[in-house]
Amino acid sequence: MRKLLVMLMVTCLMMVCSVGFAADDHKVLAKQLQVAEKVLDAVDGEPVPAFAKVSAGFNANLKAKYDEKAFENLKKQVRVQLGNLKEAKFFAFQRLDQVDRVIYVASFSKEKVVNIVFAFDKQSKLADFAFS
């Protein structure tokens, strides 16, 4: 009976600890999803958010890489190669040492399944993104 009681206590403690370790992840994920949704809204088209709102979530390196003109060219390339965005669904959230990844699975008019990976730095700023 003691062994059963001890095992039950250990199991409960492990559950409490696992919840405690993941406590702040939902806050980080919520911030990162907002940034990802703005990029998806910009690619989707109707209505197109202002570039200043979209780029507010970019880190310094990505802001240097994509100015307003370069971002417009990217959107045109996506529309030419993939077509119009039909739907995008959140798929996964990965926390790594230096980068957090938010992954969407999307469907376009020319491509049925497209993975959209958003890479965030530890300050929840968008560091890079890719369509594959």
> What pLDDT score does 6 carry?
65
Q: For the beta carbon of residue 38, count every other beta carbon within 10 angstroms.
A: 18
Both tokens of residue 30? 């919520």
Both tokens of residue 113? 């399944």
Q: Please enumerate in sequence order all residues whose Cβ is within 8 A of that of 127, keeping only pairs 6 or more positions apart, or say none.
A: 59, 61, 62, 99, 119, 120, 121
Per-residue pLDDT tens over the stretch 70-107: 999 999 999 999 999 999 999 999 998 899 999 999 99
- In the block, tokens 């020319």 appear at 110
pTM score, two decimals? 0.80
- Secondary element (H or E) of residue 20: helix 2-21
> What pLDDT score does 119 carry?
95
> What pLDDT score does 108 carry?
93
Both tokens of residue 34? 């907002």
pLDDT in tens, the chain (132 residues): 777 666 777 676 676 655 555 557 888 888 999 999 999 988 887 777 888 898 899 999 999 998 889 999 999 999 999 999 999 999 999 998 899 999 999 999 999 999 999 999 999 999 999 999
Among residues 117, 121, 131, the alpha carbon closest in space to that of 31 is found at 121
> Sheet of 100-108: strands edge to edge?
85-95, 100-108, 114-120, 126-131
Among residues 101, 106, 75, 73, the alpha carbon closest in space to that of 89 is found at 106
